[in-house]
Copies of this chain bind each other. A is one copy, B any other.
Amino acid sequence: MCQLLGTSCNRPTQIYFLWSGFQRRGGHTDTHSDGWGLSFFEGNSVRLFMDENSCCNSSLAQWVKCCPFKSNIIMAHIRRATEGTVELSNTHPFVRELWGRNWVFAHNGTLKNYYPEHKRFFPIGDTDSERAFCWIMDQLAERFPSAKPNALPDKNELLEVLLELTTEVSKYGVFNYILSYGEFLIARCASHLHYTLRQAPFGVIKLLDDNQEIDLGVVLDDVETQMAVIATQPLTNEHWLRIQPGVLMAFENGKIIHTIQGDPGATPGVASVVGK
């Protein structure tokens, strides 16, 4: 299966440590070697790095590990292709502009025979994931016809609509995803998704995929820092909690701002097919 990684923090942070572990799952400690993507929100803009090659061997993935970029919301994906060829256009995260915001989306799971109608947002590649994302964007545009850059939908209302749309997509299979337009990070669990919350007092933590440890107190550099890390599978020896199937969570400034229980979706038989 593919894997997701997302961070929400109340101050811009770098990704070095988490990326060091996550990157190794892209062909070294795990089999997700069919592409990778890493995005940094910076205001309403997004830096997106991606490649269709194995993350653990990518010179670009290596470069971004030590890059100077910091962000309050970072999102990443490593891919093991189950639907769609191994090429750049099928690499997550996907990005679309809606209401003057960049919407960034990455998916883990497989949607079977899922070919929704597209009206305004069309897929560029040929994955079930991008089809689902474009369909959700289409639906949001239709549900909030008067929304625009200085008049975004109410957050609660937006999350309720997203949950409803997610339930619809989930009829076709496993739909774990992370999504953001830069203000908060949404994480929806169908089968596998975990999170950990970091706040003072910080301690020394270790990666599970590499022999590395850091002192969070030094790295996060401020006792006021609050950070949430969301990942398909735990990346460190911190205390991770499993998100229950069907739950949609929203994280803002490193804290949980919403937890909504929705339909878990997908039949048990389908739920075991986790391949995107």
Taking Cβ atoms with an 8 Å cutoff, the residues of A that contact B are 42-45, 47-48, 50, 59-60, 63, 67-68, 87-89, 91, 96-97, 99-102, 118, 120-125, 141, 148-149
Q: Do residues A89 and B43 form an inter-chain contact, with CB atoms below 8 A?
A: yes
Cα distance A50–B48 in the bound complex, in angstroms: 9
Residues of B close to A42: CB separation below 8 A: 87-89
A59-B68, A68-B59 are known contacts. Are A88 and B45 too (CB-CB below 8 A)?
yes
Q: Do residues A122 and B100 form an inter-chain contact, with CB atoms below 8 A?
A: yes
Cα distance A243–B50 in the bound complex, in angstroms: 35
Residues of B close to A47: CB separation below 8 A: 50, 88
CB-contact partner of A125 in B45, B67, B148, under 8 A: B45
**Copy total for this chain:** 2
Q: Do residues B89 and A44 form an inter-chain contact, with CB atoms below 8 A?
A: yes
Q: Do residues B96 and A122 form an inter-chain contact, with CB atoms below 8 A?
A: no
CB-contact partner of A44 in B91, B121, B124, B148, under 8 A: B124
Q: Do residues A97 and B68 form an inter-chain contact, with CB atoms below 8 A?
A: no
Shortest distance between the CB of A72 and any CB in chain B (Å): 14
Cα distance A43–B123 in the bound complex, in angstroms: 13
Cα distance A48–B87 in the bound complex, in angstroms: 16
Shortest distance between the CB of A58 and any CB in chain B (Å): 10
Cα distance A141–B47 in the bound complex, in angstroms: 26
Residues of B close to A118: CB separation below 8 A: 148
Shortest distance between the CB of A139 and any CB in chain B (Å): 15
Q: Do residues B122 and A149 form an inter-chain contact, with CB atoms below 8 A?
A: yes
Most buried by B among A91, A101, A122, A149: A122
